[in-house]
Amino acid sequence: MAFIPEPISRFFHRTASPPHFYALANRLIPWLSVLLVLGLAYGLYGGLYLAPADYQQGDSYRIIYIHVPAAWMSLFVYVVMAIMGGIALIWRMKLAEVMLISSAPIGAGFTFIALVTGSLWGKPMWGAWWVWDARLTSELILLFLYLGIISLYGAIEDKRSASRAVSILALVGVVNIPIIHYSVEWWNTLHQGATVSKLDKPSIHISMLIPLLTMAVAFKLYYAVAVLQAAKLELIKREPSAQWVKNLLETSA
């Protein structure tokens, strides 16, 4: 890798080796799964039971413990995909291509959950299931980008060519991420402004904030587990005749 120190370059090349990645994923998934279960258990218990009711919204605000982490993850996963797309285009790294396409269905799921839970919250708050609000519209565009990447990859038979095409689409679509994030500041919108990521202090009580942040970490752990599992399967599908795959099948037989 040009402009990268030799030790770091060797580390990346070794990690990107399909058999090494497969073995590493197998070691990480059980530990990440345990942390995921613990995080979800505490986050849901803290958010749905321990946290007090909101003085304005009552108990209906508790949907934020699903909606907000899902919305954050919808942006986070797409940024990861764009980074993987850049790596794939510049260094032709197969694992980056695999991570990109393996992330797309997971990111689409997070985006769909964010939109649905947002509508469920919007009905009692705004009196409508959907409004063409700047934040909601740009989030819907994000869902279409995810679906477009999935469809484009499936439509091209040569997966190396498909990976290059979706890498370009991921990089082009990343312009939508700052639009989503800053939409509540750039336009007059019904959507609530930032309450957690403000520079001075969050506009949410600590008893509500801790479960919310715990759920955000749990959602990231879920993404890690899910993308590692999906990437393992994608690597096997891409390299069915590779010696390491044959050895893996013989070991598991």
pLDDT tens for each residue of 30-40: 999 999 999 99
In whole angstroms, what is the distance from residue 84 CA to residue 170 CA? 9
Residue-level pLDDT at 55: 77
Residue 56, SS3 per DSSP: coil
Confidence at residue 202, expressed as pLDDT on a 0 to 100 scale? 57
User: Does the pLDDT value for residue 194 go beyond 80?
Assistant: no
Determine if the pTM surpasses 0.85.
Answer: yes
End-to-end CA distance of the chain: 38
Per-residue pLDDT reduced to its tens digit, 86-127: 999 999 999 999 999 999 999 999 999 999 998 988 777 777
Q: Compute and round to an integer the Cα radius of gyration of the chain.
A: 20
C-alpha 81/C-alpha 104 separation (Å) is 8
Query: Would you say residue 77 has pLDDT above 80?
Result: yes
Q: Under 8 Å CB-to-CB from 41, ≥6 apart: which residues?
A: none
Q: How is the chain split into domains, by residue range? A: 25-245
Give the length of the chain: 253
Helix/strand/coil for 58: strand
Phi and psi, residue 191, nearest 5° = -65, 140
Question: What are the respective helix, strand and coil percentages of the chain, to the nearest 5?
Answer: 80, 0, 20
DSSP 167-179: HHHHHHHTTHHHH
Q: Which amino acid is at 57?
A: Q
Output the pLDDT for position 199: 42
